[in-house]
Amino acid sequence: AALVHDIGKLLLLEREEPENVTCMNAPIGEYSRGAGLDNCVLQWNHDEFAYSRLNGNVPDHIAWLIRYHSIDVDRCEPLMDERDREYATRYLRPFQKYDQGSKSAFRLPTKTLTDYRELIETLFPKPILY
């Protein structure tokens, strides 16, 4: 998930407005408690775009993490069903510490894309349609 969760940010290269790409996604409308995030409409952003391209090519929990990695977990928790709660506890909360809490303009990556190319080609043998 770490390698591909932000693939939707490629939309910025296509001149999509940043406010449509890099924003947090939040529920739109009113839903009953425990409705399940998949049954709610959330603000569209790079998460949903990446999910639309990777769903079916990764395990369910990875697809879920890609789709919801920019939510405010505490705000969305009342809407979560059992699956959402399990995935949020097991995957999303730990992931968000690294995703949202580790960015720095001063620490540059020590790895290049070529360092991961073999892994990416093994995990995604078919092209991902953009």
**CA–CA separation, 91 vs 2, rounded Å?**
11
Q: What is the DSSP string of 72-93?
A: -HHHHGGG--HHHHHHIIIIIH
Q: In the 8-state DSSP scheme, what is residue 68?
A: H
CB-neighbour burial class of residue 51 (10 A; exposed 0-12, middle 13-18, buried 19+): buried
pLDDT at 101: 65
2 occurs within a structural domain: no
pLDDT at 36: 98
31 occurs within a structural domain: yes
72 occurs within a structural domain: yes
128 occurs within a structural domain: no
Domain count across the chain: 1
129 occurs within a structural domain: no
45 occurs within a structural domain: yes
pLDDT at 78: 98
130 occurs within a structural domain: no
pLDDT at 127: 85
1 occurs within a structural domain: no
pTM of the predicted model as reported, rounded to 2 decimal places: 0.87
**CA–CA separation, 2 vs 70, rounded Å?**
13
Each residue's pLDDT expressed in tens, for the chain with a length of 130 residues: 777 888 788 888 998 888 888 888 889 999 999 999 999 999 999 999 999 999 999 999 999 999 999 999 999 999 999 999 999 999 999 998 887 766 677 777 788 888 888 888 888 888 887 7
In one letter, which amino acid is 45?
N
Q: Which domain holds residue 98?
A: 7-123
